[in-house]
Amino acid sequence: MMESQKTKFFIFWTITILLFCLYLLDRSQVKNRKNKYKLDIALIEKELIENGILIDKINESRNRYESIIDTIKSYHISGEQLMSEISRIKLMASKLNIQLYQVEIDPKNTFPEEFSRNSTINIELERQTLKFNLRGNFLKVGKFLENYEKTNSPLRVQSCTVSLDSLDPKGVIAQLHFVTYTGLES
């Protein structure tokens, strides 16, 4: 009987140790799966954050694009408005005793063709230029430009080149290039 109890005890003890080993093995596998899931969740969170940043950048670009289009639309001018603007510029120049000459309106589209070709968005946009020269005292020409920039004009100064006037030792000649956009819905 004693032998039988020892055998039962040994079998029970062996089964207990075996079950404990199986428990430890299963626990380590569960722990590994848990760590794998944590890593997957961290990677997904990282991708979501990166995609959120990407979406924010896309929205920011869209808003910037819409702002630029709105700004360009505000530069739109009709032929009658352009003639009125030229008259206003002449009046401003004459008030400052500045000679305005060689007024040239370029009716051709001067918008870069590369933009139209490379753009996937079809924008009916044309850019016309207005060029003229101012001759007068340097300070008065500067005052003219300052006064003009303060006005709410649909024309925008694209470039201004100032050089010395060979006919007047105290004078300068300013070559001004203005741009306006047409072809947009008003």
121 and 169 both lie in a single domain: yes
60 and 100 belong to one structural domain: no
Q: Which range, of 9-13, 99-103, 179-183, averages the lowest pLDDT? A: 179-183
**Cα 81 from chain centroid?**
30
In this predicted structure, the answer to whether residue 184 has a pLDDT above a threshold of 60 is no
65 and 112 assigned to the same domain: no
Q: pLDDT digit string (tens) for 89-106? A: 999 999 999 999 998 888
Q: In which order are the strands placed within the sheet that holds 99-106?
A: 99-106, 126-137, 171-182, 156-164
For residue 49, what are the domain limits?
1-74
Residue with tokens 């700004």: 71
- pLDDT tens per residue across span 38-68: 999 888 888 888 888 888 888 898 898 888 7
Nearest to 133 by CA among 162, 107, 106: 162
Q: Which of residues 13, 48, 74 is at a domain's end?
A: 74
Number of domains in the chain: 2
Reading the block at residue 175, the tokens are 């070559």
The residue among 124 and 78 whose pLDDT is bigger is: 78
The larger pLDDT score, comparing residue 43 to residue 72, is at 43
Asked whether residue 88 falls in the same domain as residue 131, the answer is yes
Q: Are residues 64 and 84 in the same domain?
A: no
